[in-house]
Structure 1
């Protein structure tokens, strides 16, 4: 479980930079830098609609993260093992507008 800070303000799961989903998936199987990653769990917040907080009663600071970015140093068996993860994506309208800013490429 990682300490997650989500700066994607227009995600339906985001509440005060915490995630209400319970777990997320970071995509980017071929990523060599953070720009090649994305939060595949992103869902755009809709005007006038509540966020998806019902998935988890309260937003959570720690979260389980499945990770497809196999070149990241924090990826072990498709799970993120970073102590802290930052998800960014100012103005994102889909998951491709988000990134895992914590991504760090494994040195070979």
Structure 2
């Protein structure tokens, strides 16, 4: 499991730069750079599809990853020690990215 720092402050799962979801999916099947990735688990704060029942943010999290060309991807699991998810002001998952992505 990776140590996660999430700066997507308007994600419903974000609490103090930690994630309350438990696991996330990073998308970007054909990613060649970090901007080609996204956090597919993003849910905009206040959206109807999320109710805040999770109040226990975790600094470490399981990350599934579709970015097959990332050096940290091993069988669609992220093996990085530390992962940064960014997307200040994001209103959908495509406005987020995994800034830890590094092309093989």
Report TM bin, short chain: over 0.9
Q: Identify the residue that residue 46 of structure 2 maps to in structure 1.
A: 46
Shift of 1:54: 2.4
Tell me which residue corresponds to 2:3. Answer: 3
The number of residue pairs the alignment matches comes to 103
Q: CA RMSD in A?
A: 1.6
- Are 2:61 and 1:63 aligned? yes
TM-score, length of structure 2 as denominator length = 0.94
Counterpart-to-counterpart distance in 2, 1:62 and 1:52: 22
* Structure 2: gaps (5+ residues): none
Question: In the TM superposition, what whole-angstrom CA distance separates every residue of 1:71-99 from its partner, at most 9, and x where no partner exists?
Answer: 00000000000000000001100000000
- TM-score (normalised: structure 1): 0.90
Q: How much has 1:4 moved relative to structure 2?
A: 0.1
Q: Secondary structure at the match of 2:63?
A: strand
